[in-house]
Structure 1
Amino acid sequence: MAESSDASALSEWVTAVVRELGLEGSLDTGSSVDMVLDLTSDVAHGVSRPGAPVTAFLVGVAAGRADDPAVAARDYAQKISALADGWRSDAERGTAANDQSRRA
């Protein structure tokens, strides 16, 4: 029962924030909420709990600068989730996660 209450409260909150920021019609709030929750979960569990909201903010800022923010947000969230998933394994191997020489 608490989950239903939490889901309802989250839905109401997101609707209010979207309205307050003038974002109506510019994104699919359902999939956006799921994307952000997945991203922050990956970061919280793979890197750092306090890093989760900061990461969501940074992805939002980066996406907001793109030509199509909704598409960019999904792309960036996928990239950063993958980075977070491999964060500990990279450290254990002694290779920096942001090693530019390994990027294509």
Structure 2
Amino acid sequence: MSGSQDAQALAEWVAAVGRELGLGDGVEDGSIVDMVLDLTADVAHGVSRPGAPVTAFLVGLAAGRAADPVAAAREHAATVSRLAAGWPDTRG
């Protein structure tokens, strides 16, 4: 599968999951996907690969408690990315 096919499949998947979970159109914005991918890359490369999906879940959980979850997710992702950048490398 080519890069554009991957991107299209991801966009369709995100839209379908968003509909299934009743999240509306806010998650279909490509910048949201980019934010999550950047966040998980920061954690996977700076802290721990298994920590990446767990961190994404935690950011989503925290954002879901906010009045504006999308804005909160962006803020939380930036905070966690900064934390991961300064995390000591213990991966031997």
**TM-score (normalizing by structure 1):** 0.79
**TM-score (normalizing by structure 2):** 0.89
Gaps of 5+ in 1: 92-104
Question: What SS is found at the alignment partner of 1:48?
Answer: coil
Count of residue correspondences: 90
- 2:14/2:27 contact within 8 Å kept: no
What is the identity, as a one-letter code, of the residue corresponding to 1:86? G
The percent identity for this pair of structures is 68
1:20 aligns with 2:20: yes
Aligned to 1:79: 79
- 1:42/1:84 contact within 8 Å kept: yes
Question: What SS is found at the alignment partner of 1:25?
Answer: helix
Distance 1:37 1:13, change over 3 A: same
What is the identity, as a one-letter code, of the residue corresponding to 2:30? G
- 2:18/2:27 contact within 8 Å kept: no
4+ runs deviating over 6 angstroms:
none
Question: What SS is found at the alignment partner of 1:87?
Answer: coil
Gaps of 5+ in 2: none
Alignment root-mean-square deviation, CA: 1.6
Aligned to 2:5: 5
Distance 1:25 1:8, change over 3 A: closer
Distance 1:27 1:8 in 2: 15
Distance 1:49 1:30 in 2: 23
